[in-house]
Structure 1
């Protein structure tokens, strides 16, 4: 039965971009260990190989790395289900393992030679899932079993509606204690489910006003796809920006962007705002036309964080957040 199939979660090098999806594979690293299929199919053999190749690795990390490699080669089977949370576009990719283990040391520059073929079946925006499901697949390890929220993910694999989650104010107050990615998920969920499409347009206008623009939200119908007129001067004679808002987590395609562009005059600019992301052709269209800008959900979140202290109380109630501090790491560029 399909529901009895193991469900695996995997994290891959962010620099892969869309290649795992486009080319149908999953990959993990540890190139120096070599072809894993040549090792004895026992966990102890994998531990010895990892310790021999990486003599400076912490003793406690040896079984973790060895376990990841062993599971990828011997425990994962063709027909198993795979979940890949992509940080590149904030999508949850669902697929079916279709290939046996392969060692491809010359496959790319990422030094991730351990591969399996995958047939990807679904791409679903992160905020569609419950916070518990997102927390489980946010595991710190590279390869892991998905158990606690298996029923929710099986529904996604089967194309069934996912259970709605009431992201209330109490949850929002606790959000400051979440990991950064979980806070971002919370904000997107609130903007998607906590506002009507019309209220979302007013929210975008409010954000632009905090950034120093004067804004006018157009009428609900007959606006030609233009939801907001923004400009720098109070009378609206200079630097006119025509804004289209899409309260969706899906990917916006080039035709929708081109439609907005068709309403922009030579002396005007266009801004497309969405909670989701854009297709490659849409981004290429943006690069080819200097007077149009595409804002993703991730970019909107960053602006919300930047201007949150200036928000009106009603929008702070919608997004109850508070600033917190964490210990800086070497990645923050603060260490010598």
Structure 2
């Protein structure tokens, strides 16, 4: 059975029957050919991947090549694998019994390893945290956080695992992880896709979704004001400055916004990063200027997402889902 030294791996597939009936695990990328023909170095796998998939996105090259390398060279006979099957909503745990093998007879899943399936358990016997970990977006990955739970599942009877009365302590942490991952995704997409004037246009659209009437300043203007916003046809006027820089905003930068304001105006400063300590103090002393950092901007996006224009919904694709949370005390 499993030992504390055993490594646990997680894997996904679109062909559950192949894994369960043939007692194998496998990953695709058939165009990569036999992986044992490559030098056993990550860099060699990356170079080959770029040759085979020249149009691959830069961020996916290291991830995909890394999965192939680990599947071929890091996985050892005697390691354990956790495979959530969709056809029966079970969690299957097995032990790796074979070395890497290239199976050219397969249509897609040519990179294979023999497995002996030890247990097929209903998802309900696992904590939400464990299910979340093996729900990784990656095809092949290392299981780290809930190894003890999966190891325990191998050594216990099913009726010892399931407790309908016990509250799942991992629910709250899992919900927080999902929320934080979503926020990280939004901020990364904003930083990647929206720079300079593009971010200004996005902020104007977000303000519109919040109920403000906005006027974008002409590109190249020297007033330091990127957007003028009104709640209705009457004052006050809100002058907005937007910065897409990665470094934190300094006090002097906010002071330039203050200098462009007239009596009765309010100011809004929006950045994807944050503010320096002195800039925070300046904002506290100047209540007519509101500073929004990257984290706060993401919160507003989540709140008003449904009212954003379709252009930005496509840029930041999100789906409304319900997630379990801890019961109120």
Q: Which has the larger radius of gyration?
A: 2
TM-score computed with the length of structure 2 as normaliser: 0.50
